[in-house]
Amino acid sequence: MSTLLIAGSPSERSRSAALLDAVGQRLGARGALVERLHIRDLNPQALLLADAAHRSVARAADLVARARVVVVSTPVYKAAYSGVLKVFLDLLPQAALKDKTVLPLATGGSPHHMLALDYALRPVLQSLGARHVLPGIYATDAQVALLPEGAYQVGAELAGRIDEAVQLLAAETLRHTPAAPRPRFAPVHFSQVRCSV
């Protein structure tokens, strides 16, 4: 399954990116072809001026178009997903997520912002035509610990939820995989049919 991981954090390293990486590692271990898109790396002027034709934005939109599965990760600020993610999603074509399965991920300072996934991000993903938006994963800062060397570590309880989400994502993708066409045989004229009794 071709999977695109979209990092919606304006920071180079973040808890939401660590959550996204954890999902990506598990998908990769299942044999998925995983590509990454960091919105912060797109041309900022093109994003702010809504220049969908800009090379970096058009390339990012092409990555979305080619993927069967999209995993979107964002930090939650003021009970909403990140501004850079909003700007990017606004530039995508109206049916950019048509026939795709989407897994939303979010991180925030406290559990009080967990509804941002369902009330802010999910409606936008559905408006872009997503075939199925899976139940999202929300993690607090305490569940994605900052290690002394500067890396982030996903806690055990959160790792279990990620495992379940990836399993559901794989099952959903396989369930909606079109069946391979059955081989067709050339027609045989009745005079060529041989029977034995």
Q: List the structure tokens of 189.
A: 């004229």
| Amino acid letter, 78 | K
Say what the pLDDT of residue 190 is.
63
Pairwise CA distance, residues 22 & 164, whole Å: 12
Task: Give the length of the chain.
Answer: 197
Say what the pLDDT of residue 114 is.
86
Say what the pLDDT of residue 179 is.
46
Distances (CA, A) of 117 to 72, 154, 167: 11, 19, 20
pTM, 2 dp: 0.85
Say what the pLDDT of residue 182 is.
53
- pLDDT means over runs of 10, the chain (197 residues): 93 92 94 95 95 96 96 92 95 94 94 87 94 93 89 92 94 63 61 62
- The SS3 of residue 110 is coil
Ramachandran angles phi, psi of 136, nearest 5° = -80, 170
**77 CB burial (10 A radius; 0-12, 13-18, 19+):** middle
Say what the pLDDT of residue 37 is.
97
Domains of the chain, earliest start first: 2-192 (3.40.50.360)
Say what the pLDDT of residue 76 is.
94
